[in-house]
Amino acid sequence: MRKNNVKTKWDNNETALCGWIATESTVLAETVGVAGVDAVAVDLQHGASDVHNLMNFMQAISATPAIPMVRLPGNVPEIIMKSLDYGAYGLICPLINSAEDAKAFVHASLYPPHGGRSFASARVLNYAGADYAKHANDEIIKLAMIETREGLENIDEILAVEGLDGIFVGPTDLALTLGYTPGPEHSIEGLEEAIAHCVAMTKKAGKKAGIFCSGGKGSAIRRDEGFDLVVPTAELYIFKKALAAELADYNA
């Protein structure tokens, strides 16, 4: 089976860098994949794409050095299995609030005897190799999003779920649920305390922590705080920021 670049980084005690796709453009997904990131995540929860065009994204990202990942629209077994069959090497599942939620997520992501995922001679075999089913349980990354007060309170039980690789912090939703107005890194003391708690609990459990960031500088901050997977921002925001800079040069 083709190796998982992100897990290779983790084995070397390095932080992985993940691009994020919120639009329907497979060309942008491919462009992000060749930009130097280790993975590209397609956002099916809040992005413009859905499971019906996901295979096109998996094919586009698979043509780059980055591994394809998916932020799921929810903890739905059918979509989890389709995402994996189409070629996702990592899954980020939103709104995991309890150990029961995490167990359901993991169960749908793993082949028996450790889970309930069914096998199909799907597109992923073209990308991963004929021995995919033998190694997929070990190679596929499964991250549970911590983005609610309930999830934060239950983080130790969530991290204890066997087969879960770790967590992915959603700082905007976590800020909202804690009663704060979202802002960039280190702008909200209470939020930073919650995020530091997430990292500490993850390290204690011997698992991995990811987070969405406000940009490259924010990603460096989170890397230095011990996060194992950082997302600089979505491609849509990068485009908007770059265009604003070009227009500022024009108007200077």
Q: Given 46, 114, 186, 197, which residue is catalytic?
A: 46
Cα torsion angle, 150, 177, 213, 226, sign: negative
Active site (annotated) includes residue 186: no
What letter represents residue 11's amino acid? D
- Count of other CB atoms within 10 angstroms of residue 217: 11
Asked if 202 and 158 touch (Cβ cutoff 8 Å), the reply is: no
58 burial level (CB within 10 Å; 0-12, 13-18, 19+):
buried
Q: Which residues are catalytic?
A: 46
